[in-house]
Structure 1
Amino acid sequence: MSPTRRLFVRSAAVLSLGFVAGCLGGGGSNGTPTNSDDDTTDLPDTTDTGTDPSGGTRPSGTGGPGITLTDVDSTPDIPIEPTVEVHRDVATDDHPPQLRVTLTNTSDERVEVGEGRAIFFQYVADDSRDLILLPAGQEYPADPGCWRLDEPIAVTEEYRIETFEPGESRSALVDLYGAARDDGEDSCLPVGEYHFETTFAVGDLTGGDEGRTTATWGFSLSLE
């Protein structure tokens, strides 16, 4: 196996679903997202006091907004059913906003699906490439409370495959960050509405394209 190449991405690392390289990891091995056993979160008081929580040091319209799901695409016509929910709805000095993505095998057969990170919206940017979702539980180069990446994130170029048993559900938490910028603009999480979308591939993922089915699915978030 050739050494794993590394890509420096400024916003997303949604790998091409027609490309198979590096190590292929099945469910429960390399590339399996970490599930969280703790579904409870103590949310801070978000009452509007009319003051800037950053002490006036952030540009107007940015800082620690709350997030709301405003639209979710229809369920794709594949045996894997994706859902998304808000797990932490506000950015604080301790954590950025957070989503939970859940995938369920609705068929009575074992299903392989890829790419293993993109299907859980890990390293997926919004359409404007101003925001990016990253795996939770890791440290990234961003100022607490601002959550804008100071530099791009290195992502391995490999195609991971997840295997779902009949009826199996699996979840992963992703944190919302501002993507790294090179224009020198000092902004944190910007208010507005943003759409995220990824591609799912199921079927014979190690063979030819004729045995593979693909579908896209996504959702929209409002930051305010």
Structure 2
Amino acid sequence: MSPTRRLFVRSAAVLSLGLVAGCLGGGGGDGDSPDTDDSTDLPDTTDTGTDPSGGTRPSGTGGPGIVLTSVDSAPDIPIEPTVEVHKDVATDDHPPQLRVTLTNTSDERVEVGEGRAIFFQYVGDDSRDLILLPAGQEYPAEPGCWRLDDPIAVTEEYRIETFEPGESKSALVDLYGAAKEDGEDSCLPVGEFRFETTFAVGGLTGGDEKRTTATWGFSLSLE
């Protein structure tokens, strides 16, 4: 075979291989780059039930939960007090709430004072961070926060409650943060708090009956 013939055959073979490679390598033939996975994992937004600030606020509520941690033994008077949690968490609709019940355990009529304090109405804790107020009323506090914007005025009158033998009376009290003179705007604090009040029995409306006094209280935790 002449040199010219061999050169022509070699060139044709190279051209054929190039065409085959082009058909096999292009796939779609449009020049697009291979498909890649562009998806990105989304951050986990599962509700853990905790306050983003690091507290233990129950999920879906506006404040901490309330737990009774200790309750005093019944005082040595004919009136037996008890306390229980009625609403255990703060929400935008209501603050935490307690129910205080007093029972006359004697077989005689008993007069007890002061009529509001014995139900822990307008009674603050030992540190003056919290205050219990009669339920069902409106107070100057932001819903969901429940700290008073201003102090609550209380009349100086001395009220007396009368209990027939075996009679029980109950009252609901709401838990608020006490107003602060320094303008502190925090909501309900967390921690343990002690509430205590004084009961006066007998001799409240005159007569020869001897007056007896006793203190009673409980501790609660906000967490």
TM-score (norm 1): 0.73
Matched, 1:162 2:161: yes
> What does residue range 99-138 of structure 1 map to in structure 2 within 5 Å?
99-138=98-137
Contact 1:95/1:145 (8 A) holds in 2: yes
Alignment-derived partner of residue 50 in structure 2:
50
**Unpaired runs of 5+ in structure 2?**
1-46
**CA spacing shift, 1:209–1:193, aligned 2, 3 Å:** farther
| Greater RCO, CA 8 A, separation 6+ | 1
Name the aligned partner's letter for residue 221 of structure 2.
S
**Regions of 4+ moved over 2 Å:** 47-52, 59-63, 206-210
**CA spacing shift, 1:141–1:61, aligned 2, 3 Å:** farther
Alignment-derived partner of residue 173 in structure 1:
172
Q: How many residues are matched?
A: 173
Name the aligned partner's letter for residue 84 of structure 1.
V
* SS of structure 1 residue aligned to 2:107: coil
Write the deviation string for residues 98-141 of structure 1: whole angstroms up to 9, x where unpaired. 00000000000000000000000000000001100000000000
Output the CA distance in 1 between the equivalents of 2:206 and 2:48: 55
Name the aligned partner's letter for residue 107 of structure 1.
S
Alignment-derived partner of residue 193 in structure 1:
192
Alignment-derived partner of residue 9 in structure 2:
none
Shift, 1:207, TM fit = 3.3
* SS of structure 2 residue aligned to 1:119: helix
RMSD: 2.1
Contact 2:50/2:56 (8 A) holds in 1: no
Which structure has greater strand proportion? Answer: 1
**Unpaired runs of 5+ in structure 1?**
1-46
Output the CA distance in 2 between the equivalents of 1:48 and 1:72: 32
**CA spacing shift, 1:61–1:112, aligned 2, 3 Å:** same
Which structure has greater helix proportion? Answer: 2
* SS of structure 2 residue aligned to 1:145: coil
Identity %: 86
